[in-house]
Amino acid sequence: MSGTSPRLKKSPPSPDALASLGEIAGLSVTPELYLKFQRLIHQESGIWLGDSRAALLCGRLSRRLRELKLSSLDQYYDVVLDPSQHEERIAMIDAITTNETRFFRDPRHFEFLEARAVPRWRSEAQQGLRPKKMRLWSAGCSSGEEPYSLAMLLARHLPAEQGWDVTILATDLSTRMLAHSRTGIYSITKAVDIPEPLLKDYMLKGIGQQSGHMKVTPQIQQMVEFRKLNLNRDPFPQDGLFDAILCRNVLIYFDAQARQNTLERLIRCLARTGILFVGQAENLSSFTPRLRSLVPAAYARDGEHSVY
């Protein structure tokens, strides 16, 4: 990552800031050790843990210590600092990051796609202004509900039978989440978040040993490609621009410098009239004048926003 965040120059958290920590699952962390973890996690992911998150660190890493048969965070830090322990550093980030999501989360974004973006894309294709080929990117896809939601919506409104070719790239830092996403299997309790027509057409209800689960249909799975990608460090996709990028509730965990760098790189991946969706708490107006708001947390390039 270019540049150095001012956060990395700060002193270790004060003892008072950690005084209420106590021990989580038998673990405790000193201010000095906590600062080391802050810096390492930032280096690996762009995520900066605030000084009040020491309890979260202990709680989230306790399982890793049990599995490795370690007794202290000092020992664990020595492990993840070893250059050969790449997979364990990934496991550490997996444990620290929040993977909460659901199908059709933030419905207003999907309503915008259905009511304004898709009709625009169809009209442009009918006028010969664009091919019937769509590329979307779910950046920070977690356990896969977001890219599969996109695929279901676009399979309904831009069907392959009418010549549309829709592909969705889904990336995440967590190898564990990507492995789960590729199965396409979810608890049946998540069905409540999927509109009934899409649920009926694109989800298979489990029977027998799979009772209580549902599985995305092969048609929808084939529209989504899952890849591991660290938004803070890895090269971004080079195989074409995107008509829409969803990077929701990801940037909020980055420090200001990492957020700015990532945002500029995302913009470079947008097609001329592409749309960038972020989380509802992620206001981008203070980060770049190059985007204009379409609806809350949805942006297009300045000068192109009027087409929607």
Report the alpha-carbon angle 71-76-79, nearest 5: 135
pLDDT at 306: 65
Q: Give the mean model confidence (pLDDT) for residues 110-133.
A: 96
Global pTM value: 0.84
Number of domains in the chain: 2
Does residue 283 have a pLDDT over 90? no
* Domain of residue 138, residue span: 107-307
Q: Which residues contact 164 (CB under 8 A, 6 or more apart)?
A: 132, 133, 134, 154, 158
Question: Which of 48, 44, 254 lies closest to 34 in space, CA to CA?
Answer: 48
For residues 40 and 113, membership in a common domain is answered with no
Q: What is the CATH number of the domain that holds 80?
A: 1.10.155
Q: Does residue 102 lie within any of the structural domains?
A: no
Q: What is the CATH number of the domain that holds 141?
A: 3.40.50.150
Q: Does residue 101 lie within any of the structural domains?
A: no
For residues 287 and 139, membership in a common domain is answered with yes
Span 144-193, pLDDT tens digits: 999 999 999 999 999 999 999 999 999 998 888 899 999 999 999 999 99
Span 193-239, pLDDT tens digits: 999 999 999 999 999 999 999 999 999 999 999 999 999 889 999 88
Longest dimension (CA), the chain: 66
Domain boundary among 44, 63, 96: 96
- Least confident window among 3-17, 232-246, 283-297: 3-17
Span 30-83, pLDDT tens digits: 999 999 999 999 988 888 888 888 998 999 999 999 999 999 999 999 999 999
**Beta-strand pair 270-278/203-205:** unpaired
